[in-house]
Structure 1
Amino acid sequence: MRRNLIIDLFKIVLACMVVAIHGINPSEINGIVYDMSINSIFRIAVPLFVLVSGYYFFYTINNNTDWFKRVFILYVFWQLVYSHLWLENEYSMLGFMGLIFIGYYHLWYLPAMMFAAALLVILRRVNSILMLCMIVLLFSVGLSIQYGFVYKLSVFVEYHYLIEKHSLLLSRNFLFFIFPFFCLGFLINKERWVEKVGNNNLKPYIYALLIGLIMESFWFSFGKQQVNRDLLFFLLPLCPLIFLELLKMKAPYDWPSLSVVSSSIYFFHIMLLDFLGSFLSISSVFLVIFTCILASSFGVGVIFLKCRFKYFKYVF
């Protein structure tokens, strides 16, 4: 399986977007700028990460034991690394079980991806058109739950307390969020969409959908509740087009180890935000910048460690 340098470089940008989402205080920047960046454009980060994972999963779907083993070890390792943070809190039995099976903070992505991959293994022989219908249906359900929470749509009135209490879990989960994009990434590879797109220029469509994404975020601002905007309508058509455009680009050379840098930024950033924020009296914007730089330097160090110690491949 050959790595794509363009994709790996873009993943570093996406990882920095995730850091900004988690680290920037909305009170410190202009509201319009915050809506245009953190609440809209930066929301492409997680779906694109998932698309990439689904795309490469195509190569291992029929011999997937090592893939699941690696992601599971990755999850357990980073849960333990972050134990000093989550052990500070008190949990009910249900809350503790949620922590174990869903993950601490940003680590929710790993078990969600494992569940999505397991579902895809079961459905891998389903017709691609039917899969696309399933993707749209599942994403629409998650989107409806999130929209219902923000706008208190009448159809959700009876369940609004439940939705308000568990909005993140009900909409941003493996079934309604991760699986649709993971499956799309798989289909892009399986059906050779890059070859079908050929030399067609996707940029006008990408720009139009980006404008739509920003407008949707502004529309959300009129809701009565301020919530995480993980599911946005325009993400579903936009992110696959961005991914296809990236796949069409040819890199002059390969650097397979570069993917470690984006992983380092993603896994280290919560710890670094917490650590640096404890003694640096600076704006959250600069805190995010320092975190990205430091986490990237850790990634470069990990590249050298992986060359010497083979077991490092399981934790980055």
Structure 2
Amino acid sequence: MDILKAICAFLIVCIHVPFPGRVGAYFTALTRIAVPVFFMITGYFYSDTVARHKEKQQIEKIFYLIVEANILFFIWNIALNVLRRENIVAYIRSIFTGKNIIEFLALNESPLAGHLWYLGAILYVLVIVLLMDEFNCRKILCCLTLVLLIVDLVFGKYSLLIFHREFPYILVRNFLCVGIPYFCIGNLIREKRYSEKWNKKVLQILIVAFAITTLAERFALVNAGLNATRDHYISTTFLAICLFVYILKSNWHNKGLAMIGRKYSTWLYIIHPIFITVFSTVVGKLGLKSIYRYVAPIVVYCATLVFLIILQKVKIAMKSK
């Protein structure tokens, strides 16, 4: 499962700094499984968390992670404003508005960095699941899973087709329409042992099939002029589930990828946008954009990973003194 974390971390980098052209756009459609898979992983291992009575510790850990990540991006954004000679006071005022605070608290949308919504969403999911368990009614969440996934599609990717208009994607890209359903799916796969019941070869066929249908969905929506901003297709859920179960059954062994997934995937997710900004600025000044864009996801992923490894070694060295 750690290997899957490492792979999904790379896919998320590909979302934020995609490969160029039509091929890149279609590949990005496939990478949308990454965040659902991360929620599924949390749900899958939640039984272990409960067995060790560490539910509250997990919530506390995520809470501090949210604080650290937002402080980091606040400092980073201030630094960028200084370098760009922009008005820092105006920037700070633009962050702490009533609308931003409401969106942050209700929809997990951080005004400091959009991708940090995931941390807020997983925190809310864990709190909700803990409360539901207190009243022995977690089954309600499982029953709502299909409804919430449909809501995501109706008001998200298929909103232009159904309503002839788009809704702000943060209305569905949050703990409610993404976090809870995928957490529950991962949890059900563990508790019902679905991975033991599914044939590996069938899963391989399904992965290919749902990858094709994902691309077909994008093709159809784009050509019809109905491709809304929200990024989850109908096939995204099925592709994520099939890949998740396939990895469970495969028992892949790769120490390098496993280490990346176990030790670095969380912070790789958090800080990679900083490296995107740095590299895009540097290559722009060097006139290398035309070359860089073909390798940008790989460069950003590797650079972020190297930075985290060095940072960890520095921390270890400082502690040993």
After TM superposition, the score normalised by the length of structure 2 is: 0.79
Equivalences, count: 289
| Deviation of 1:198 (Å) | 6.2
Is the deviation greater in 59-68 or in 191-200?
Answer: 191-200
Is the deviation greater in 249-258 or in 80-89?
Answer: 249-258
- In the alignment, which of 81, 94, 98 is matched to residue 94 of structure 1? 98
Against the structure 1 CA distance between its residues 303 and 191, is the aligned structure 2 distance closer, same or farther, given a 3 Å change threshold?
farther
Alignment-derived partner of residue 142 in structure 1: 152
In 1: Cα distance, 2:200 partner to 2:206 partner: 14
Alignment-derived partner of residue 185 in structure 1: 186
In 2: Cα distance, 1:234 partner to 1:268 partner: 29
| Deviation of 1:304 (Å) | 3.7
Against the structure 1 CA distance between its residues 302 and 8, is the aligned structure 2 distance closer, same or farther, given a 3 Å change threshold?
farther
CA displacement 1:141-185 (0-9 Å, x = unmatched): 11100145333x3xx46xx5xx54xx2111211111121111111
In 1: Cα distance, 2:64 partner to 2:213 partner: 39
Is the deviation greater in 281-290 or in 8-17?
Answer: 281-290
- In the alignment, which of 265, 270, 276 is matched to residue 267 of structure 1? 270
Asked if structure 2 preserves the Cα contact closer than 8 Å seen for 1:43 and 1:229, the reply is no
Against the structure 1 CA distance between its residues 132 and 274, is the aligned structure 2 distance closer, same or farther, given a 3 Å change threshold?
same
Asked if structure 2 preserves the Cα contact closer than 8 Å seen for 1:113 and 1:178, the reply is yes
Alignment-derived partner of residue 72 in structure 1: 63
Asked if structure 2 preserves the Cα contact closer than 8 Å seen for 1:51 and 1:181, the reply is yes
Give ranges in structure 2 of 5+ residues lacking alignment: 82-90
Determine helix, strand or coil for the equivalent of 2:282: coil
Asked if structure 2 preserves the Cα contact closer than 8 Å seen for 1:264 and 1:296, the reply is no
In 2: Cα distance, 1:66 partner to 1:123 partner: 17
In 2: Cα distance, 1:225 partner to 1:96 partner: 28
Alignment-derived partner of residue 46 in structure 2: 57
Alignment-derived partner of residue 48 in structure 1: 37
Alignment-derived partner of residue 174 in structure 1: 175
Asked if structure 2 preserves the Cα contact closer than 8 Å seen for 1:172 and 1:231, the reply is no
Aligned: 1:284 with 2:274: no
CA RMSD of aligned residues (A): 2.8
Q: Between Structure 1 and Structure 2, which shows a larger proportion of helix residues?
A: 2
Determine helix, strand or coil for the equivalent of 1:172: coil
Alignment-derived partner of residue 196 in structure 1: 197
Percent sequence identity over aligned pairs: 22
Alignment-derived partner of residue 310 in structure 2: 301
Asked if structure 2 preserves the Cα contact closer than 8 Å seen for 1:150 and 1:223, the reply is no
Against the structure 1 CA distance between its residues 134 and 99, is the aligned structure 2 distance closer, same or farther, given a 3 Å change threshold?
closer
Residue type at the aligned position of 1:265: L
In 2: Cα distance, 1:120 partner to 1:231 partner: 24
CA displacement 1:3-57 (0-9 Å, x = unmatched): xxxx2223222212211211237xxx332x133201x211111111111122122
Determine helix, strand or coil for the equivalent of 1:228: coil
In 2: Cα distance, 1:58 partner to 1:48 partner: 17
Against the structure 1 CA distance between its residues 285 and 80, is the aligned structure 2 distance closer, same or farther, given a 3 Å change threshold?
farther
After TM superposition, the score normalised by the length of structure 1 is: 0.80
Is the deviation greater in 139-148 or in 199-208?
Answer: 199-208
